[in-house]
Amino acid sequence: MLRPDGIRALLDRVTDEPIIANLGSATFDLYHAQQRDANFYTWGAMGMVSSIGLGVALAAPEKKVYVIDGDGSLLMNLGSLGTIARQNPKNLVHIVMDNQQWAETGGQPTHTSTGTDLAEIARASGIAHVIRVASLEDFEDALDHAVNEDGPWCIVADIEEHGHGARPPVSVEENLLRFRRTFTD
């Protein structure tokens, strides 16, 4: 499974629901797959995308909220899994694209390359619905459940890293305001 294919599978299943993308490849690939006001592209605060998603999910319980995280980033913020489990937001879908490396900094192997299992950590943290998948077909099946059934969901997808699209010309301030208007207008 490749990250851009997974992102397209997600976009095929949403209309105006918010998607919060991790810094680097998730942000770049989401932008190139489809520019939408409900995309929140992050560029820094590495590891925080699951926490941002929790804030969005709590503030907008009527919307399904999707987070596209990475293994290196989630390893920086494992406590957020317990925080999410404790809040138990039914509308949060936390997708972790696990390429077993810090791809933005030269492809150094992360802990998942030596056996750390983020799905097991999510499960042990108390997240209600955790699925680990390794193929696009299984990822799509997991998404179909997550889109239609109460969460919180954590879908850990083993992906092959084949690089990402070009750095998009996004103004972070304008992105935030456009994203926010999808909730306030």
Q: Which residues bind other proteins (CB under 8 A)?
A: 18, 20, 40, 42-49, 51-60, 77, 79-80, 82-83, 86-87, 172-173, 175-176, 179-180, 183-184
- Residue among 49 and 68 whose Cβ is closer to other proteins: 49
- Residue among 40 and 153 whose Cβ is closer to other proteins: 40
- Residue among 13 and 43 whose Cβ is closer to other proteins: 43
129 φ, ψ (degrees, to nearest 5): -130, 110
Residues sharing a CB contact under 8 Å with residue 143, sequence separation 6 or more, in sequence order: 9, 10, 13, 93, 155
Distance CA 13, CA 8 (A): 9
The minimum distance between CB 15 and other proteins, in angstroms, equals: 17
The minimum distance between CB 23 and other proteins, in angstroms, equals: 9
- Residue among 2 and 78 whose Cβ is closer to other proteins: 78
Q: What is the number of other CB atoms lying within 10 angstroms of the CB of residue 28?
A: 22
Distance CA 67, CA 47 (A): 12
* Residue 170 near residue 31, CB atoms below 8 Å: yes
Distance CA 123, CA 127 (A): 5
The minimum distance between CB 153 and other proteins, in angstroms, equals: 17
Half-sphere exposure of 91 toward its Cβ, with a 13 Å CA cutoff? 16
The minimum distance between CB 175 and other proteins, in angstroms, equals: 7
The minimum distance between CB 65 and other proteins, in angstroms, equals: 8
- Residue among 39 and 110 whose Cβ is closer to other proteins: 39
Half-sphere exposure of 160 toward its Cβ, with a 13 Å CA cutoff? 6
